[in-house]
Amino acid sequence: MSNHCTFNNIEELRQAVGQEAFVTDWVLIDQKRIDLFAQATDDPQWIHVDPVRAAKESPFGCTIAHGFLTLSLLGRFYDQHMDLPFCKMGINYGLNRVRFTNPVKVDRQVRGRFVLAKLEDIAGGLQMTFSVTIEIQGEERPACIAESVVRQYFEAAV
């Protein structure tokens, strides 16, 4: 396990299939981050943005992060924790499966655990499928389990 991984060539990447590629640093999910996400997505549901009401009426006793906020951290995690110097550009290609298994309460920290499940050749690059678990610090049950598909393109293909 590493908090940063560099694959210098395709063969190194192929050898990593089935293994944990990296575990990210912890990221604080504070009320400011939740509020900004609510504004950006036009999703101001009180359970996310009203701490007073959430403390009184929510079964969680506080505000919680949007599930999609948690999921949106995947891009950050790839960018900060994985290098493929033989590739020019990467894109988020999609998700095969996502489950939000535990709410992230305000002021908790989350991190991602990434296992390279599958590697496929595509025209001009590679398609990688990662099994991702977003953990909540101090909790046994993760916030999110997802199968994330990303594509990386070689320099000549761009």
pLDDT digits (tens, 9 = 90+) for 66-100: 999 999 999 999 999 999 999 999 999 999 999 99
Is the CB of residue 130 less than 8 Å from the CB of residue 148? Answer: yes
pLDDT-derived band at 158, boundaries 50, 70, 90:
very low
State pTM to two decimals: 0.92
CATH node for 5-157: 3.10.129.10
Distance between CA atoms of residues 98 and 100, nearest Å: 7
Domain boundaries, the chain: 5-157
